[in-house]
Amino acid sequence: MAKILVSGGAGFIGSNLVDKLIELGHQVVVVDNLFSGKKDYVNDQAVFYQIDICQAPELEEVFAREKFDYVFHLAAQIDVRKSVEDMELDNRINVLGALNVLESSHRHGVKKIIFTSSGGAIYGFPEEIPTPENYATNPVSPYGINKLVFEKYLNYYHRVFGQKYLNARLANVYGPRQYEGGEAGVIAIFINNAVEGKTSYIYGDGLQTRDFIYVDDVVRALVSKMDDETVGTFNIGTGKESSLLEIVSAIEEALGHKIDIEFQPAKLGEERRSCLKTDLAKKVLDWQAQVELSDGIKRTIAWSKDNLN
């Protein structure tokens, strides 16, 4: 049994991760300010602190009291558009707040930090699809810039202080407990709207592609090398492109009926294609995505039907 901190453990990916860690027999502590997370999503076997990672003294007290073996850092400002509107806020949370987690981890002897970074935002508009980890990182949003900045800090702490880390550059994650809003939530938005009989909107022709990965596959990747010597940066995706029109078709097939879709003008600056090359994760982490898109959508629809008003 290990003592583990999950920052952002009341959120979509974080709460699913907490469930898995507890299932594996670990003792889990969650730190979350509940700005976007939900207390109801926190496993009742986890210890919960309602703390903002930007509150350095309070966070330091938790580290001193709990004495963690491992830290999964997921707490973040996750909205790309919000990062453009308020760059200072995004920097404060995604860099300075993250540094509070990193500094406390270093001071209190945490063995390894696993960080959820962004595969889509960090590479910008790559010409190589699927995109490998060694492709040039040219983010085109403050969100992507700040995710990359913290990756660099983790590498610095490793080289200078020996702090072990793993950067998981995630593709577009979907599944139960995902919130509406943000591009990464397009499957959740379409499914929630379909279940509630509302209209969903496609901006552009619907042929833009993304690499959609089910949350359970992401969780398996995050825990795969928690307690060994593996250090580095890994793309976590399916390596497959799916268009928005294909997502709509998969949802309609799972539901057994058409859903209401309305087309709107394309959004300026939107990526046409995004997909991650995952060969390195397969080789080093001994991991690959297992849940097919059609199956993941069916599972997400089932959860939405059970949990939406």
List residues with catalytic annotation: 143
Structure-token pair, residue 209: 């592609």
Which residues, including other chains, have CB under 8 Å from residue 81's CB and lie 6 or more apart?
A: 182
**Residue holding tokens 């991991």?**
287
**Can you tell me which residue has the tokens 């200078």?**
160
Largest CA distance in the chain: 57
Which residue from 191, 199, 186 is spatially nearest to 242, judged by alpha carbons?
Answer: 186
**How far apart (Å, rounded) are the C-alpha atoms in residues 188 and 194?**
10
Q: Which of 155, 163, 158, 12 is nearest to 76 (CA)?
A: 12
Q: What burial letters (b/e) apply to 21-56, b meaning 16+ CB within 10 Å?
A: bbeeebbbbbbbbeebbeeebbbeebebbebbbbeb
